[in-house]
Structure 1
């Protein structure tokens, strides 16, 4: 998707881009960036690029002070789009431009406006990574969060080795990484992975309310303190993804990875052999 505001820097009030897999709308000083790949909103390289371009365009919009990141369908994001990739394939890459999923994801950490993620349904794997790039997460008891990479037979990715410990602490992050366990919204809120817990039907409205509350503060002050709090995070994220990519590259060639993918497709417990 091309930059939605290439011709003009201001997103229209109460309006949206109805074309493509990522839509942008704005109400007052709050914009909503909406991922539209229902029902599961699996993330691929073009949709991630579109999210990054939307956030960067909103950075240039002086009337936008905060952003809600949301999704249509049953889930916020149930992970990376593996449907059209061979079992040994690496991180999604555009061979024409050299763009990779992880390189584009780093753009999300370099934007200036605060982001509130509205997480309903599943935030799994890359979907958890996408949620963790936001400043805050609003969720519900029915949501499910998982860094399930080890259950698929390979190293965590999407910069989660940098982001998740900042949110829940190193010990809890290690437990989530090693086990690949899914946790619900209540536990996510209890450990600091989510900031607000509301009824499922109210997730997006509550995220918008928080974004409007943030937008009521002085925008330059908010952006300044955000930059202070997140200083060095984008660089740390890029270093983490380099390590993640290196580990994933060889682990995706193993029989354990192939078994993890088969087990997921067959909805059964994987049987790993360490090779």
Structure 2
């Protein structure tokens, strides 16, 4: 099996495990999403693997993008100061990698032991199932940042929990607890925090006991068109994010979040 910089991969019988290794918060960028997509494609090519688990080290599953990190070395200081999203690199390229995740062929169980925020929520929802705990927090915090949802969430979240619950998460940017997520169907199982990964592996193992050809065919039917819907959603999301990332409100939202205070938005 391949070796990756920011993830580890293992084989547990017919279950493949991907572990994000950027603790404690496991912030994502293009490189991390690309590595996860590469690993899933590697699992697709491995006839012995029938399902997979996406897990993470540290206290968070994925706390989203770290807008407070400096921009990459190739960008000058004025660019980094002017656009808090520059540290992500090209968001367009990031979403291209994200759509690759939705095109994988085999079922995924996400072991969400902590926060899944922003794009981290999008990553958790790219899986077929989520195992959570009371300490888990799901949040689409984009509007609190003065931003627009991304990672295909405008397509995937309403399909999973209903349009109105998705609107509630988008419009308030609130953190949804593991218990509430379980009631909504955002989490499929709720277990103690120290049992999240084991429960995810158990569920993936139950899936892997089924016929591999039957699994591939059934999942292809159930997720037919999903990746294309996500692609269409990310194209629109990207346009809105590109527009909003130039605004004063976006810079204020990022600053207020970093300073743990209520933002003073001015609609400009």
TM superposition score normalised by structure 2:
0.93
Which residue of the partner structure matches residue 84 of structure 1? 70
Q: Report the 3-state secondary structure (helix = DSSP H, G, I; strand = E; otherwise coil) of the residue aligned with 2:66.
A: coil
- Matched residue SS, 1:120: coil
Find the counterpart in structure 2 of residue 158 from structure 1.
151
Runs of 4+, deviation exceeding 4 Å:
none
Match of 1:186 among 164, 171, 179: 179
SS where residue 77 of structure 1 aligns? coil
Quote the offset at 1:91 in angstroms: 8.6
- Any idea what the Cα deviations from partners look like across 1:29-77, whole Å, max 9, x if unmatched? 0010010000000001111111000000000000000000000011100
- For structure 2, list consecutive stretches of 5 or more residues without a partner in the other structure: 72-79
1:155-234 → structure 2 map (5 Å cutoff) = 155-234=148-227
Q: Which residue pairs with 1:35 in the alignment?
A: 20
Aligned to 1:66: 51
In 2: Cα distance, 1:130 partner to 1:251 partner: 22
Per the TM alignment, residue 173 of structure 1 is displaced from its structure 2 partner at its CA by 0.4
* 2:100 aligned residue: 107
Distance 2:176 2:165 in 1: 12
Q: 1:27, 1:207 → 2: CA distance?
A: 12
In structure 2, distance between residues paired with 1:68 and 1:152? 30
* Residue of 243, 248, 253 corresponding to 2:241: 248
Retained in 2: the 8 A contact 1:80–1:126? yes
**Aligned-residue CA RMSD (Å):** 1.5
Does the 8 Å CA contact 1:91/1:101 hold for their aligned counterparts? no
Structure 1 CA distance for aligned equivalents of residues 88 and 28 of structure 2? 10
CA distance, structure 1, for counterparts of residue 221 and residue 21 of structure 2: 32
Match of 1:13 in 2: none
Report the counterpart of residue 11 of structure 2 in structure 1.
Answer: 26
Is the Cα contact below 8 Å between 1:23 and 1:33 reproduced in 2?
yes
Unaligned runs of 5+ in 1: 6-16
1:274 Cα offset (Å): 1.1
Matched, 1:75 2:60: yes
SS of aligned partner of 2:263: coil
Three-state SS of the structure 2 residue aligned to 1:193 is coil
Secondary structure of the equivalent of 1:100? helix
Question: Which piece of structure 1 moves more, 204-213 or 217-226?
Answer: 217-226
Q: Deviations over 1:221-248 (max 9, x none)?
A: 1111111111000000000000000000
* Contact 1:90–1:249 (Cα < 8 Å) also in 2: no
Measured against aligned partners, the alpha-carbon deviations of 1:68-90 in whole angstroms (never above 9, x if no partner) come to 00000111000113212435236
TM-score under structure 1 normalisation? 0.90
Residues 99 and 248 of structure 1: is their aligned pair in 2 closer, same or farther, counting only changes over 3 Å?
Answer: closer
Look up the match of 1:52: 37
8 Å CA contact 1:76–1:120 kept in 2: the answer is: yes
